[in-house]
Amino acid sequence: MKKLLSLVLLVVGIMLILQNCKHEIPIRIDNTTPVIITQSDTCSPDTVYFVNDVLPIIRSNCAQSGCHDEITHKEGVVLTNYDAIMQTGEVRAGKPSSSKLYEVLNKTGEEKMPPPPASLTAEQKNAIRLWILQGAKNNFCQNTCDTSNVTYSANIWPIMELTCKGCHSGAAPSGGVSITNYTTVKALVDNGKLDGTINHRSGYSAMPPGGSVTDCAKAQIKLWIDAGAPNN
Ligand code: HEC
């Protein structure tokens, strides 16, 4: 009898817990990063978000093939998703200066990452530092998508810089494709490759590899291309 009672209590307990979690909706930001978010997660300007701000920097500058992707995993370090970044990047929440992921950015010589002459910008380093300082959470935010007045400088270049430039710059850009300024982006508009790659259309390689830009970014890029891709 006692056993039955505790079983009933256990079931009721589990039901209550499930009920409480109901306001959390699991959404897939991209193919590899399922994240649980609460619906009220609008972006705060004071917070650095892992999925929005940090992961694209790391994917584009550290997790490319030949470096810290799942296949190459140099020095056993894999930097393609949150769990791997926390573990193999030795991230200590709240302590950027004792987190390997951050420490290596400011080293010199062989230990410096990414290997010279590549480097993260001061802004990118600071985003990683702040994210760790703020608890290194697996967080994500979503504002309503602003599709009014989309311009190259305010909307399109920031997406390219964050999600594409890391792999598509330097002496040997991935796939021989440079994404470093307006002219290079406009060339990809004219040959259809920007639309084809980010929308994963057949005949094109899906970009960024193993992921996707947000629906909002896709909408903004489409509006801008439809307007003639101006340099505004
Ligand atoms: C992690 C590194 C990485 C990131 C980030 C990345 N790319 Fe690529 N990209 C590659 C590699 C590697 C290739 C060549 C192999 C291939 O085509 O799959 C490539 C190829 C391409 C090509 C030529 C593909 C074709 O079908 O002709 C285009 C265009 C391109 N990328 C655009 C982008 C855009 C736009 C973004 C940002 C939304 C982006 N890439 C982000 C690594 C990356």
User: pTM of the entire structure?
Assistant: 0.74
Structure-token pair, residue 170 = 């330097």
Q: Are 91 and 103 in contact (CB under 8 A)?
A: no
Distance 133 CA to ligand 1 centre (A): 32
- Residue 229 Cβ contacting ligand 1 at under 6 Å: no
**Residue that is written with structure tokens 């004219």 in the block:** 190
Distance 174 CA to ligand 1 centre (A): 6
What's the one-letter identity of residue 80?
T
pLDDT of residue 184: 98
Q: What is the mean pLDDT of each run of 10 residues along the chain (232 residues)?
A: 63 50 42 43 89 91 86 87 93 96 91 87 96 95 87 96 92 94 98 98 94 90 98 98
> Where exactly are the structural domains of the chain?
22-143, 152-226
Distance 173 CA to ligand 1 centre (A): 9
